[in-house]
Chain A
Amino acid sequence: MQANEQPTISALKRKVSREYLLSIFLHSKSFLLLLLIFFFSEPVCIGQSKIAKVYQLEAAFLYNFTRFVNWTSANPSGETQFVIGIVGRDPFEGYIDEIVKGERVDGRSIVIRRYDDVSNIGNCSILFIGFSEAEKIRQALKKVKKRGTLTVADSPNFVKRGGAVEFFIEENKVRLKINVDAAKAEGLEISSKLLNLAKIY
């Protein structure tokens, strides 16, 4: 079955980590709301990892971007793989690896590369800038500028600063902000359907 071959939302839930939930709890502005999510949404415990639903969603969203965004400028880096880079602390733990396992974008297999520092950022099609690297956003953006990279972050004002996609929580839901100009500058085409959902900066 097609559906079984795909990584499912329910599969994501199994890998939600308690630790990451804590850090979210600590970093989130809407602490109370997150707390409510925590209590009202059933925490699922699958395997060893158990992360917050928010990160599960965000991991899934990262993967889903590969379907709603066109990387028109072929492959400036000359990478043979579709690289999803994560800089800073990884909130998704192994969860995202599970999701993208075996998936391909335009014939290229998806790989997750983690950079512990902004300076280490290499060629990647999607770059998630972790909350821990919120101070180095400008630096990170500068690093991947003009390299056809969709920059994603869950730090506030990310799009204001020149990032392409920003996760934020609204009405207990993970929502998106998109800086269309920034994406365009990187030669990216974002599906109008995605744009319809997102707040456009």
Chain B
Amino acid sequence: MTYNRKRQIAAAVLVLVTAALVANEVRLLVTDPEYDWYLRIQRWIAAVCTMAIYTFLYRENPFYRAFEHVLLGGATGMGCAVIVRQQLIDKWFAPMVQGFRDWFTTGMTPEALSGVLLIVPGIVGLMWYFQYSKRWFWLSRITFCITLGAGVGLGFKDTFNQLLPQITETFKPLWVGARIEPGLSLLARVSLSFENIIFITGTISVLMYFFFVFERKHFVIKGPAQLGRWYLMVALGAFFGNTFMTRLSALIERVHFLVAEWLQWG
């Protein structure tokens, strides 16, 4: 098929699809007594955006690229607006101004002081910008040190609190006897013990896999490390399966939107 012929077919398909969409919209306008223009325009915009992004599945095209940039621009603008509005103004500037106002009207009350003191983090934060000056660069290091110190402290607490219970959780009995779980039947105990053995074997073998300080020549190291690799492969397979399911859900939701909400079929 020649290039011109292909273009003619594509144009014909486009015209037909557009006609069908217009006919569908007229159908809704005529049959729906609660036809809402505002809502319909919103849905049309959402549908065009969705389909523009899905055109990438056919091939890279300017239509897709344009909408990708619209999305990125919108998200960046929204991010900036949110930071300025919700954080800088609401959490810092407005309480600070209020603090100064209270100080001048009612005197230095504890509430006024807490507002006035907000000027300190403001100044410390602004010191980041000394990074652009060779002469005053050292001042930015003060802010850097405060941020780093606070971040490390909080991070340490978070990591410690998250991981410690998991480490203690790995101390599982290989045989769940009657003393450990008195109410369980023998079959349940065997099953629980089997689970624990798989769990502990997995933990140890995967840890062995990540010992890179000595060569894996001896079977005591090599065997568990290889088993650990298998465990990791199974885990990665589970990750992939879950990833597929998440992406699939997004597709199903979009198809539902296009069919049920935009076209209002079915």
* A associates with B: no
Residues of B in contact with A (beta carbons under 8 Å apart): none
